[in-house]
Structure 1
Amino acid sequence: MIEHDISGRRPLGLPIAWWVALGTAIGLSVGFSAVASTVFGQFVTPLSQAFGWSRGETTLAVAFANIPLLLMAPLFGVLIDRMGAWRTLCVSQVAVPLILMSLATLQGSLTQLYISFFLLALFGAGTLPAAYTRIILTWFDRRRGLGFGIALSGVGLASLVLPPISQALIGAFGWRMAIVSIGVLFLLVGGLNVATLLRIRPQGPHEIDAGAASGSHPAIDPLSGIPWRKALRTMTYWTIALAFVPLGAASMGLLVNLPSILADRGFSPLAAASGVSILGATLIFARLVTGWLLDNVSTMYVVAVIFAAPALGFFLLADSHTAGITAFAIFLIAFGIGAEFDVMAFLLSRLFGPISYGGLYGGVYAAYNIGVAVGPAYLATRFDASGTYDLALAVFAVLFLLSGAVLTIVARRVPGAAGAA
């Protein structure tokens, strides 16, 4: 018994901290973020064809989802700080799949579509990254970057797995049954995950960082850091928040419209879904690599590279329509998109600490979603007006360059050569 207390729990030989990190990744893969960034994109073309909607009208649903997020993301963040992440997940992890399944009842009303997405954000905000990264703060200090990387790779996991499943279901049973099937999958997987892995808490310091480091871990003390009222009076916080507005427009603008972009360039629906899966695999790779780099390399250098890569990718995607260049451009874009939430979580946790992390993260996430409300519809309406996505993609490249430069400057304030507190 004493040996167990010292070494910590190791189910199947793996330290319990890694199991919890895996649970956070699974949660993100079946939550609101997965619906908005991956699942809905697979249904834009079928819905547009079924009801005669334009792509701009259909993708505008994402904007209606982001209206309540401007309030709900900070509100759920504060609730996470006060009540714990698990309690908010219990509500939202059930709400997301139920509202998703309700889309199967659509009969051609755009109003119903928009209201459904409004409700999806209103009740599903508890499954946003704030909850899962807050759980990571409980388990990781010196390996925090990697912990964030594992958790946030859940969105990449969704992009890797769900597009082929969605296309197969649509092809075999139609879009209505496909939506219901995915909703049931989310309900079963998400519910089981919340009831098991995400309820676990550390038994002692020996389980922090998967047992890799000994001694105290003051950085995970839930009462350490800067309270949100004081943080909101700093220029650093507002600089981070404003920098993520254009990133939201460019990132989600591409993710929602990527299946349509690939289809217009001659890819079959299945090939387009495979292209989104490649993006998902890159998201996972980027978030894991970035997490490790944030733990071991100067934060400023990591941030600079992370946002330069997608800027180049957007320029390439706008300029070339060949399959090879398109694939390479998607890889570069996905690398930056995959890493931007690692950077958000890491900067906020290191600069402001855990005490108000949920609320502060929710505020920056709300700022990000101001851009999200604009990006997908902007890209789709530019296509409706001109028949091409190229100019809008070049605009997205410039947005990544500007935000990357601002966040690189902020990253210089992270303590320590490797960004360790």
Structure 2
Amino acid sequence: MNDFSEFRCGFKPLFGALVGAGCGITSIMFYTHGTFVVAISENTEWSRGEVQFAFTIMSLMALFTAPSVGWMVDRFGPRSVALVSLVGFFIGCLTLSLTGTNLIYYYTGWAVLAVLGAGTLPITWTTLINKWFTINRGLALGITLSGTGIAASVAPSYASWLITQYDWQTAYLLLGATSTAIALPMVYLFFHYPIAVTKTNYDQGNTPDLSEIGLSLKEAVSGYKFWILSISIICVSGSIAGLITNIVPLLTDKSLSVIEASGYTGLIGISVIIGRLGIGYLMDRIWAPLIAAIFLTLPAIGAMMLVNIELQPLLLSISIILIGLAAGAEIDLFAYLSSRYFGLKNYGVIYGIIFMIFSVSAGIAPAVFGFSFDRYGSYDFIFSVAAILSLMGGLSMLLLGAYPQFDLSADNNELEV
């Protein structure tokens, strides 16, 4: 399967989606949070657990924002949602920069950011890309979400430099301004819908509009595959998010400076890009749950290495790369599996629920890791727990079974039996 003709028509929206995904709330705030934790806790009287809890607040807001964004994307289109939310993302960062040293104001800033920037979540970018690509959907999603890998490579060091040059409040402001200035024109120019093939054309023998084929939300959640995917997401995303956001604090505890530790986290970005592109290419050719089982168990190895090794640069780099490969795979996998198992008719709202589960798990984890450190004085216990959960979550993907076959000619789009 080497037909790449879809890229000739879809390369512009693909580029717009890549830039948007790299400058969105998931990329910028997630991959820089570990860098901010040390600076904020040193500048205030807040513990690491209290600082990490801010990210938990933002992620818990996904209980409302992710399904809402999914509905809005299905209703108004991903382009309109993305443009409004990129502006909202900057306003959210501006609000966060004004919080000062009051913990409640700091938490409120994150809540505002979660609401105003919600349309920059992967739901928006993957919805449109799924409509442009069918044969190469996995690779296209990998390219789109490799924008987060680019952000992971650059943003931590950029944030660390901003904090050093100014302070953490100003760093939030400039981080938001930079992201919006880069993404807004690219999304405006390139991020647009394909011309759909209508049902009338399908009746005349042409390819159907696949965006009108799939399950309803009720049908999706009533099946066991939705819940297997959800349980796996809870285990894996929580582990990966907790590990990534606490790597910088872990390394500074091992006597590295914040800048040196942030440099190591740049390896996450490189491996995220490799993971996204590699898994995207493989998913178009190999049963995706098998690929998922392989990639999503890698953090188990990385976590145990971080617990047990000394500061040996090679082993430290390998452990971080393993975690980064899994981070590169997870969102792509969840988007791809949602489209293959549940179809595209209600993809926005179904993936919105899936992403809500992902966000809540990933959002709770950093605070849990931080409070575990506050309790035990090290990360050994919680990193070991993360290793076990990663192993369980990755292997559970093998229970998803074969892809369903949809009846393309039926008005109700039921599964073929």
Q: Same fold (TM over 0.5)?
A: yes
Compute the displacement of 1:217 (Å).
4.8
Describe the SS at the equivalent of 1:41: helix
Compute the displacement of 1:8 (Å).
9.3
How many angstroms apart in 2 are the aligned matches of 1:316 and 1:8? 43
CA-based RMSD: 2.1
Q: Is residue 146–residue 328 contact of structure 2 (8 Å, CA) maintained in 1?
A: yes
Q: Which letter does structure 2 place at the counterpart of 1:257?
A: N
How many angstroms apart in 1 are the aligned matches of 2:171 and 2:254? 25
Name the residue aligned to 1:356: 346
| Structure 1 position 239 matched with structure 2 position 231 | no
The correspondence for 1:103, drawn from 83, 96, 106, is: 96
Name the residue aligned to 1:288: 277
Name the residue aligned to 2:265: 276
Compute the displacement of 1:114 (Å).
0.8
Q: Is residue 61–residue 114 contact of structure 1 (8 Å, CA) maintained in 2?
A: yes
CA distance 1:174–1:373, change in 2 (3 Å): closer
CA distance 1:222–1:386, change in 2 (3 Å): same
The correspondence for 1:301, drawn from 290, 293, 299, is: 290
Name the residue aligned to 2:200: none
How many angstroms apart in 2 are the aligned matches of 1:58 and 1:75? 27
Q: Which letter does structure 2 place at the counterpart of 1:246?
A: C
The correspondence for 1:134, drawn from 127, 136, 140, is: 127
Q: Which moved more, 1:385-394 or 1:296-305?
A: 296-305
Task: Give 1:68-217 correspondences, 5 Å limit.
Answer: 68-198=61-191, 200-203=192-195, 217=207
Q: Which letter does structure 1 place at the counterpart of 2:252?
A: A
How many angstroms apart in 1 are the aligned matches of 2:395 and 2:282? 18
Q: Which letter does structure 1 place at the counterpart of 2:288?
A: T
CA distance 1:352–1:204, change in 2 (3 Å): closer
Compute the displacement of 1:18 (Å).
2.3
Q: Which letter does structure 2 place at the counterpart of 1:374?
A: I
CA distance 1:179–1:370, change in 2 (3 Å): closer
Name the residue aligned to 1:4: none
Name the residue aligned to 1:346: 336
How many angstroms apart in 1 are the aligned matches of 2:11 and 2:166? 38
| Aligned pairs, number | 395
How many angstroms apart in 2 are the aligned matches of 1:255 and 1:383? 15
Compute the displacement of 1:111 (Å).
0.5
Q: Which letter does structure 2 place at the counterpart of 1:308?
A: T
Q: Which moved more, 1:353-362 or 1:263-272?
A: 263-272
How many angstroms apart in 1 are the aligned matches of 2:255 and 2:336? 39
How many angstroms apart in 1 are the aligned matches of 2:194 and 2:223? 33
Q: Which moved more, 1:298-307 or 1:154-163?
A: 298-307
Task: List per-residue Cα deviations over 1:133-165 (Å, max 9, x = no partner).
Answer: 011112100000001101111211111111111
Structure 1 residue ranges without an equivalent (≥5): 1-6, 206-214
Identity of aligned residues (%): 28
The correspondence for 1:371, drawn from 340, 361, 372, is: 361
How many angstroms apart in 1 are the aligned matches of 2:346 and 2:40? 41
Q: Which letter does structure 2 place at the counterpart of 1:68?
A: M
Q: Is residue 61–residue 111 contact of structure 2 (8 Å, CA) maintained in 1?
A: yes
How many angstroms apart in 2 are the aligned matches of 1:225 and 1:150? 24
How many angstroms apart in 2 are the aligned matches of 1:148 and 1:331? 21
CA distance 1:8–1:155, change in 2 (3 Å): closer
How many angstroms apart in 1 are the aligned matches of 2:120 and 2:357? 17
Q: Is residue 93–residue 190 contact of structure 1 (8 Å, CA) maintained in 2?
A: yes
Q: TM-score, normalised by structure 2?
A: 0.90
Describe the SS at the equivalent of 2:194: coil
Compute the displacement of 1:177 (Å).
2.6
Q: Is residue 73–residue 363 contact of structure 1 (8 Å, CA) maintained in 2?
A: yes
Compute the displacement of 1:39 (Å).
2.4
Name the residue aligned to 1:45: 38
Q: Is residue 248–residue 370 contact of structure 1 (8 Å, CA) maintained in 2?
A: no
Compute the displacement of 1:204 (Å).
7.2
Q: Is residue 279–residue 330 contact of structure 1 (8 Å, CA) maintained in 2?
A: yes
Q: Which letter does structure 2 place at the counterpart of 1:175?
A: W
How many angstroms apart in 1 are the aligned matches of 2:206 and 2:258? 53
Q: Which moved more, 1:126-135 or 1:228-237?
A: 228-237
CA distance 1:291–1:109, change in 2 (3 Å): same
Describe the SS at the equivalent of 2:361: helix
Q: Which moved more, 1:147-156 or 1:236-245?
A: 236-245
Task: Give 1:51-62 correspondences, 5 Å limit.
Answer: 51-62=44-55
Task: List per-residue Cα deviations over 1:195-254 (Å, max 9, x = no partner).
Answer: 1111x333578xxxxxxxxx9654x52111112222122121122122211222212112
Q: Which letter does structure 1 place at the counterpart of 2:368?
A: Y
Compute the displacement of 1:27 (Å).
0.6
Compute the displacement of 1:73 (Å).
0.4
CA distance 1:216–1:352, change in 2 (3 Å): farther
Task: List per-residue Cα deviations over 1:365-414 (Å, max 9, x = no partner).
Answer: 1111221232101111111222211111111011111111211221x322
Compute the displacement of 1:104 (Å).
2.0
Q: Is residue 246–residue 368 contact of structure 1 (8 Å, CA) maintained in 2?
A: no
Compute the displacement of 1:106 (Å).
2.5
CA distance 1:115–1:176, change in 2 (3 Å): closer
Compute the displacement of 1:274 (Å).
1.1
Name the residue aligned to 1:224: 213
Compute the displacement of 1:16 (Å).
4.4
Name the residue aligned to 1:29: 22
Q: Which letter does structure 1 place at the counterpart of 2:303?
A: F
CA distance 1:120–1:325, change in 2 (3 Å): same
